[in-house]
């Protein structure tokens, strides 16, 4: 393990990390200095009292731990971090640097505007796959549970990284392909809803709406603002429901539809989520 200390001066902020091993100069720090990588904090190494000392210029950036102590993390932020991390890993390997030397502790991951920054610690015997899995646990703990897309991404990452020798790049490719397909299907469903509302307003018979999104893709979907505000009662002045006409809205409204979809999430293609509990489940189950 290592010890860390933050230092702030008049116009400079640094992070010092100490390893309990003698400092050895090798190609790693000179390689980083000659080939700066976007997303890797500038670092210098030195010997101190028989130990190794590494100093990083943090430039006043905020740590992930500080940022999400005040607010929950969103799907876009998780996805941005993972994609930037993958790019950094690829560049490190191109320069014959070891990605296992990356520190993925939220206390030492920094954000500046929309760019994440990581510490590269030469001589550290970390394991990237284990470190990233622990980071996904942090995602799950700090989620915005109103962000259904964030729930899906965080739990899929956490579930997938339980596997031994997982491939993070492949996991993200599968997730992105899955999301694109879900979005296309959701757009089709919204268009069907819009067309059926128009038919009902003019007294025409509505076509069947296939609520297939959650079943086909195992994903929670978020209703649009238009869907949330729509009320069938608003159209009573325009038409009368004829016998045999299909109802678009099920009894129970928007919240009931969301809860059904969210419950499907527990048994999606990534496995059963027995620990995923919706607020109010206990009350509704007892009714």
Alpha carbons 110 and 64: distance in angstroms, whole number: 6
Q: Is the dihedral of CA 96, 131, 114, 59 positive or negative?
A: negative
Provide the β-strand partners of residue 18: 3, 53
Q: Which of 117, 3, 19 is nearest to 59 (CA)?
A: 117
Sequence-distant (6+) residues with CB within 8 A of 281 are none
Report the DSSP pairing between strands 2-8 and 13-19. Answer: antiparallel
Q: Which of 154, 113, 121 is nearest to 135 (CA)?
A: 154
pTM of the model: 0.64
Provide the β-strand partners of residue 50: none
Sequence-distant (6+) residues with CB within 8 A of 55 are 14, 15, 16, 17, 43, 44, 45, 46
User: Tens-of-pLDDT digits for all 287 residues of the chain?
Assistant: 889 999 988 788 999 999 999 999 899 999 999 999 999 999 999 999 999 999 999 988 999 999 999 899 999 999 999 999 999 999 999 999 999 999 999 999 999 988 999 999 998 888 899 999 999 999 999 999 899 889 989 998 999 898 877 888 888 777 777 667 766 777 777 878 787 777 777 665 555 444 444 444 444 434 444 444 444 444 444 334 444 434 434 344 434 444 444 454 444 434 444 444 444 444 545 54
Residue 20 per-residue DSSP state: S
CA 190 to chain centre: 25
CA 108 to chain centre: 18
Show the tokens assigned to 224: 């649009």
* Rg (the chain; Cα; Å): 25
């Amino acid at each position: 393990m290592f010890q860390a200390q933050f230092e702030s001066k008049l116009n400079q902020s640094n992070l010092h990390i100490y390893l309990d091993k003698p400092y050895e100069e090798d190609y790693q720090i000179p390689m980083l200095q000659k080939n700066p990588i976007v997303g890797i904090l500038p670092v210098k190494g030195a010997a101190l009292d028989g130990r190794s000392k590494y100093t990083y210029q943090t430039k006043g950036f905020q740590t992930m731990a500080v940022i999400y102590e005040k607010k929950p993390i969103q799907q876009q932020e998780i996805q941005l971090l993972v994609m930037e991390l993958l790019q950094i890993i690829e560049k490190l390997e191109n320069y014959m640097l070891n990605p296992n030397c990356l520190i993925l502790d939220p206390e030492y991951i920094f954000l500046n505007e929309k760019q994440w920054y990581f510490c590269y610690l030469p001589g550290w015997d970390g394991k990237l796959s284990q470190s990233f899995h622990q980071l996904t646990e942090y995602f799950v703990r700090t989620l915005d549970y109103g962000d259904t897309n964030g729930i899906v991404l965080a739990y899929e990452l956490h579930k997938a990284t339980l596997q031994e020798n997982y491939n993070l790049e492949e996991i993200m490719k599968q997730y992105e392909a899955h999301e694109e397909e879900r979005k296309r299907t959701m757009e089709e469903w919204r268009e069907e809803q819009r067309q059926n509302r128009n038919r009902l307003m003019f007294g025409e018979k509505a076509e069947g709406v296939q609520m297939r999104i959650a079943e086909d893709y195992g994903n929670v979907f978020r209703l649009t603002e238009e869907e949330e505000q729509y009320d069938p009662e608003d159209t009573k002045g325009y038409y009368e429901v004829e016998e045999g006409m299909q109802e678009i809205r099920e009894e129970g409204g928007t919240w009931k539809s969301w809860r059904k979809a969210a419950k499907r999430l527990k048994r999606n293609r990534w496995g059963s989520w027995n620990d995923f509990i919706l607020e109010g489940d206990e009350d509704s189950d007892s009714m």
